[in-house]
């Protein structure tokens, strides 16, 4: 069979969904913040088993399989239709699919008017300040932390950014960003806050008040106890 070498690397069952440059970017930019180099395996099955050792949450895996299906559909559209979907669109559709499925399983939601799941910012309730935090990792020597605080009409009331020297994983960087933004909110006199994050792992631990005995856990705990506190997902 004549195979079109559309990707400069040899396609395999492991390469296409995991080790391809575009696949790596998609996993990292997704709410899972998955850095594929941190896991082992010579086959796709072995790689999944390796990931399973550190990720147990069923919702995390719902997003995982949905993203995997999105990667497969993107690959087919690229090869057979010559259309290369944007990575962000694949992520948005995959996460939206998980949200739609969860809504469909809720008997109370079945009677409600169906609305598409979109990644739009939502205003907090009156008297609550919403904090959006995020982290960037430009290189291995430092991370950038940022946070924006808005009131119930969407007006920015405070913002912050900070450069922290050192090498950090994506999930730890996200936890550092949230902790930094919360400390600025505390200094600004805000006590009723709602934090919104696109990091699924961080949302899960903060919402449950569960701080694992790791470096990530130490960055999740402490400050939320000083606030009337809510945590939302940004997807």
pLDDT value at position 27? 92
Mean pLDDT of the chain: 80
Question: pLDDT at residue 56 above 60?
Answer: yes
Over range 89-108, report the average pLDDT: 81
Residue 142's φ and ψ, nearest 5 degrees, are -160, 165
Confidence (pLDDT) at 104:
78
Q: Scanning the structure block, which residue is given the tokens 């701080």?
A: 211
Query: Is 24's pLDDT higher than 60?
Result: yes
Could you tell me which residue, 138 or 232, shows the higher pLDDT?
A: 138
- CA 180 – CA 122 distance, rounded (Å): 22
Q: What is the pLDDT of residue 214?
A: 53
Topology classification of domain 129-233: Nucleotidyltransferase; domain 5 (3.30.420)
pLDDT of residue 209: 63
Asked whether the beta carbons of 32 and 59 are under 8 A apart, the reply is no
Q: Report the C-alpha gap between 2 and 137 in whole angstroms.
A: 40
Residue 105 predicted with pLDDT over 90: no
Burial of 141 (0-12, 13-18, 19+ CB in 10 A): exposed
More confident of the two residues 131 and 202: 131
**Is the model more confident about 116 or about 177?**
177
Residue 216 tokens, joined: 């990530």
In this predicted model, what pLDDT tens digit does every residue of 65-89 receive, in sequence order? 999 999 999 988 888 888 888 888 8
- In this model, does residue 12 exceed pLDDT 50? yes
pLDDT at residue 122, rounded to an integer: 80
Q: Where are the domains of the chain?
A: 15-105, 129-233
């Amino acid at each position: 069979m004549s195979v079109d070498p559309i990707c400069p690397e040899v396609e395999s069952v492991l390469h296409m969904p995991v080790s391809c440059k575009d696949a790596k970017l998609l996993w990292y930019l997704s709410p899972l913040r998955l850095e594929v180099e941190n896991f082992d395996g010579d086959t796709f099955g072995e790689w999944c088993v390796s990931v399973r050792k550190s990720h147990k949450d069923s919702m995390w895996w719902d997003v995982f399989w949905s993203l995997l299906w999105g990667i497969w559909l993107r690959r087919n559209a690229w090869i057979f239709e010559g259309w290369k979907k944007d990575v962000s669109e694949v992520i948005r559709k995959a996460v939206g699919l998980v949200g739609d499925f969860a809504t469909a399983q809720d008997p109370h939601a079945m009677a409600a008017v169906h609305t598409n799941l979109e990644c739009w910012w939502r205003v907090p309730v009156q008297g609550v300040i919403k904090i959006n935090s995020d982290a960037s990792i430009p290189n291995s020597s430092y991370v950038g932390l940022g946070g924006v605080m808005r009131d119930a009409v969407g007006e920015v009331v405070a913002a912050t950014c900070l450069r922290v020297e050192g090498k950090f994983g994506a999930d730890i960087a996200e936890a550092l960003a949230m902790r930094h933004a919360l400390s600025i909110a505390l200094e600004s006199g805000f006590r009723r806050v709602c934090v919104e994050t696109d990091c699924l792992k961080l949302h899960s631990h903060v919402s449950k008040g569960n701080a694992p005995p790791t470096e990530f856990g130490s960055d999740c705990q402490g400050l939320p106890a000083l606030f009337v506190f809510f945590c939302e997902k940004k997807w």
